[in-house]
Amino acid sequence: MVSVCLSHKEDPDGIVSATLIKSVYSHDTDADADADMKVILVDYSDFLQRLEEAVNMEGLEQLFICDMGLSKANQEVFFRLVEHATRRGSRVTYIDHHHLEEGSKDRLRGYGVELIHSVEECTSILIYHNLLSRKLSRFALLAGLAAIIDEMDDRDVASRILGSYDKHFVEFEATALAYAIYQNQHNQDFLLRLVDKLVEAMPHAIDGVLESAKEYAEKIISNIGIIENDARREGDVVYIQAVNLPASTVANMLLTMYKGIKVAISYKQRGDKMVVSLRGSDLCTLHLGRVVNDIASELGGSGGGHDKASGAMIPKDSIGIFIEKIKGLVNGSSS
């Protein structure tokens, strides 16, 4: 028998989620001693492909799907695959914190999926709070680090966890972990080793983490001048194409560097697609996750996320239209 954890690979929430699931499974007294726990780390470009591979594995006993939000573009295929898995007798658990329609929740429960969902805490916190019977302080801290990078450290459970630790210590550990993950997005072996090592060690103590974080920090320094020179501001929106940093990092940088804006947009080419990341300031009253889901679907892509942080993957030739639609909504809003 085999169990699979399919989790997001692009930030600490997905990586820590995989670590916590492995811990849950390895200490589950009901688990088959001969069973194998396989971790599959994905991004939105290969999510459905890897999910299909997982549900068709011979002897699949249990499937955990962590920190992967649904959109109009991917949800029907997702529903079909998880229904197929449950009909084959596999137990499926979907754990996520992105916006999810009530009808989608009902469909998942109807297929027999165990649903752990809330937009109030990050996925790692949801796993820690709902699944871990051995609530070790180390696992609580790891979930707290993920919440910091997801900017959900002020939420109820996360804030109670992080309130027990020195602020600078947790920010250091969270940033080192995040930067190491960002620097190694194309190094699957590093990310999988990170999932394993986090069970017993804090990020700073894992070989390669601080070195990778330093390399990533150097990239950020070199990009500050590029952003200052090349970013375009039109009304309450600022945008730029990212080159050697993830679009999400550049969007965060834009939001902090340009005061008084409502939305920051960064985009980066990946093959014939454009990966887009948006961040909203406190001045933005639009729910960016819902808006991006709608626009990306119209353009033949997919997207979604949270009210102040969202992302999309769209055909590369559609980026101009995408930005114009966002500008029209933001600059035309009364927020």
Q: Are residues 88 and 202 in the same domain?
A: yes
Residues of the domain holding 186: 2-210
Which of 150, 180, 210 delimits the end of a domain? 210
Give the domain-ending residue among 210, 242, 258. Answer: 210
pLDDT tens-digit map of 64-123: 999 999 998 899 999 999 999 999 999 999 999 999 999 999 999 999 999 999 999 999
Same domain for 126 and 261, yes or no, is no
Reported as a pLDDT band with limits 50, 70 and 90, residue 134 is: low
CA-based torsion, 129, 134, 137, 139: positive or negative: negative
Residue owning tokens 């900017």: 151
Is residue 146 located within the same domain as residue 236?
no
Strand partners, 305: 310
User: Looking at the structure, do residues 55 and 201 belong to the same domain, yes or no?
Assistant: yes
Residue 164 lies in a domain: yes
Residues 169 and 33 in one domain: yes
Q: DSSP 3-state assignment of 141?
A: helix
Residues 71 and 150 in one domain: yes
- 66 and 113 fall within a common domain: yes
**Distance of alpha carbon 141 from alpha carbon 166, whole angstroms:** 11
Can you give the pLDDT at residue 132? 85
Condensed to tens digits (0 to 9), the pLDDT of residues 274-330 reads: 999 999 999 999 999 999 999 999 999 999 998 999 999 999 999 999 999 999 999
Q: Where are the alpha helices (DSSP H) in the chain?
A: 12-26, 47-55, 75-87, 102-110, 123-131, 137-149, 156-162, 167-183, 188-197, 209-230, 247-257, 288-298, 319-331
Residue 222 lies in a domain: no
> In the chain, how many domains are there?
2
Residue at 217 is within a domain: no
Beta bridge partners of residue 303, listed in sequence order: 312
Query: For position 133, what pLDDT does the model report?
Result: 67
Nearest of 289, 298, 305 to residue 322 by alpha carbon: 298
Q: Quick one: how far is CA 149 from the chain centroid?
A: 10
CATH of the domain at 115: 3.90.1640.30
Claim to verify: residue 187 and residue 53 sit in the same structural domain: yes
When computed from its CA atoms, the radius of gyration of the chain, rounded to whole angstroms, is 20
Same domain, 194 and 99: yes
Coil, strand, or helix at residue 95? strand
The share of the chain scoring above pLDDT 90, in percent, equals 90
Asked whether residue 136 falls in the same domain as residue 245, the answer is no
Same domain, residue pair 47 and 145: yes
What is the CATH number for 249?
3.10.310.40
